[in-house]
A and B are shown apart, each in its own frame.
Chain A
Amino acid sequence: DGGITQSPKYLFRKEGQNVTLSCEQNLNHDAMYWYRQDPGQGLRLIYYSQIVNDFQKGDIAEGYSVSREKKESFPLTVTSAQKNPTAFYLCASSTGQFNSGANVLTFGAGSRLTVL
């Protein structure tokens, strides 16, 4: 069953702690993305990666970090520097750059992070 798996589904964190959200895909997609979804704000791009061992900042990268050591995996770390981390985080993937499927994103089910 191909798709994107995000874990955990719900996560609670104390202020000052870093937390890592997992995103795994078995679609053989080159590109992966992290979005943040807030009510009334739509989706905002945090980081994206077009190929293994490479990634770029999105529109709201401050306070976040990522890695792309494997094609299948694109974990997101929410650091203590992120001022307002409570949100719903969506991971997505696509076939990659420079083809007609580049922007046909497949999304995960999301991870809801709450900072106490």
Chain B
Amino acid sequence: AQRVTQPEKLLSVFKGAPVELKCNYSYSGSPELFWYVQYSRQRLQLLLRHISRESIKGFTADLNKGETSFHLKKPFAQEEDSAMYYCALSRAVGNNRLAFGKGNQVVVIP
């Protein structure tokens, strides 16, 4: 079964500092990877997906199949980035059963 690991529960960074959220997965096939985000008092929503290869709100994530990782990065954190971030994996594009990691709480200190 596929598994997603997000090692750090809480990450505190100063505004303007780089932020990196780690995500490692265990699955031997060709998975589809996602980052979902939940801002305070808002619904959980998609942030980005690896097949889109785009930057959303300054965040990027690269799928590294060799290291089975999909780390989320942003060079300069903003206060509005404070949120809960979940990494998620599907076994294949179009397979609609996602496995979520346990999440990272990010706090950006002004």
Contact = CB atoms under 8 A, between A and B. Distances in A.
Q: Which of A99, A100, A103 has the most CB of B within 10 A?
A: A103
A103 B96 contact: yes
A55 B101 CA distance: 23
B94 A100 contact: yes
Nearest to A92: B44
A50 to B, nearest CB: 7
A96 B96 contact: yes
A100 B45 CA distance: 17
Contacts of A48: 96-97
Interface residues of A, number: 28
Contact of B96 (A40, A42, A50, A108): A50
B102 A41 contact: yes
Interface string A45-72: 1001010000000100000000000000
A81 interface: no
B40 interface: no
Contact of A102 (B44, B45, B90, B99): B90
A3 to B, nearest CB: 9
A105 B95 CA distance: 12
Interface string A14-45: 00000000000000000100010000111111
B9 A97 contact: no
Contact of B9 (A40, A58, A110): A40
A74 interface: no
A109 B23 CA distance: 25
Q: Which of A44, A48, A102 has the most CB of B within 10 A?
A: A102
Contact of A94 (B6, B51, B86, B96): B96
Given A42-B86, A42-B103, A100 B96 contact: no
13 contacts: A42-B101, A42-B102, A43-B44, A43-B86, A45-B99, A92-B44, A100-B93, A103-B32, A103-B88, A104-B46, A105-B44, A107-B43, A109-B43
Interface of B: 6, 9, 32, 34, 36, 43-46, 49, 51, 86, 88, 90, 93-103
